[in-house]
Amino acid sequence: MIPLRDSNPSGRFPIVTVALISLCTLVFLYEASLGRQIQYFVSAFGLVPGRVTYGLQSGEIDFFTASQPFLTSMFLHGGWLHLLGNMWFLWIFGDNVEDVLGSFRFVLFYLLTGLAAGLAHYLLQPTSAVPTVGASGAIAGVLAGYAILFPGAKVTTLVPLGFFIQLMELPALVMIGLWFAIQIGSGLLTLGWNGGGVAWWAHVGGFVAGVAFVKILQPRRVMA
């Protein structure tokens, strides 16, 4: 499913959402400029679960060093389609979540859900030697936040139906709920697989964290 737009205008300019999109784009442009050196860059700053596990068990790295790729991997992407897909979802849904949480809380929310996504992926594939990159886990958290805050907002969505693609206007809770169900189903099919591909459980972990953190970080209304 591909969301095209929502019917929920933001009340202010989404400065953090735009900044995150700009940062991820700039990092990807730098990646693209590296040529053959890109594999070393991704290996160094992507999340490689097996390296973290070995480093902690052997004592070669401390907890702080081991935690760094959980953060840096959130700003790397594996290709133009990977980048554009993630940034499009962030653009559609991030502005409204930022509008409710405020700039500082939204930054904190984004980072916490992204870290939770990386942790979920690590716990399920602790020996994987494949670098994991992408903002998908954090954006899954944003989707969860949007579904909690604006369950009835309409989202115009391209939905594949067999050999055809249908344009539908779905409630956010339905569209995002279907998206989450796909992540769960796909994740179950890959349990025990340590090879490459989509980090489905990172999406699931980010989404679950988003449900929790949006409630924790949402400002309380002051009653007069």
List phi, psi (to 5°) of 193: -95, 120
| Angle formed by the axes of helices 80-101 and 103-124, nearest 10° | 130
100-104 average pLDDT score: 94
- 136 labelled catalytic: yes
User: What residues does each domain of the chain span?
Assistant: 2-192+199-217
DSSP letter at 152 equals T
HSE-up (13 A, CA, CB side) for residue 205: 21
* pLDDT higher at 220 or 68: 68
CATH of domain 2-192+199-217: 1.20.1540.10
Tell me the pLDDT tens digit for each residue of 139-184.
Answer: 999 999 999 999 999 999 888 877 778 888 999 999 999 999 988 9
Does residue 197 carry a pLDDT above 70? no
Residue 24 is predicted with a pLDDT of 96
Joined together, the tokens standing for residue 161 give 């139906």
Is residue 203 annotated as a catalytic residue, yes or no? yes
**φ, ψ dihedrals at 48, nearest 5°:** -110, 95
Nearest to 161 by CA among 183, 178, 146, 176: 178
In tens, the pLDDT along 23-63 reads 999 999 999 999 889 989 998 999 999 999 999 899 888 88
The CA distances from residue 135 to 53, 117, 118, 130, 210, in Å, are 22, 9, 10, 16, 14
Mean pLDDT score across all residues of the chain:
90
Residue 171's SS3 state is strand
Residue 21 CA to residue 100 CA, distance in Å, equals: 19
Choose the catalytic residue: 67, 103, 136, 186.
136
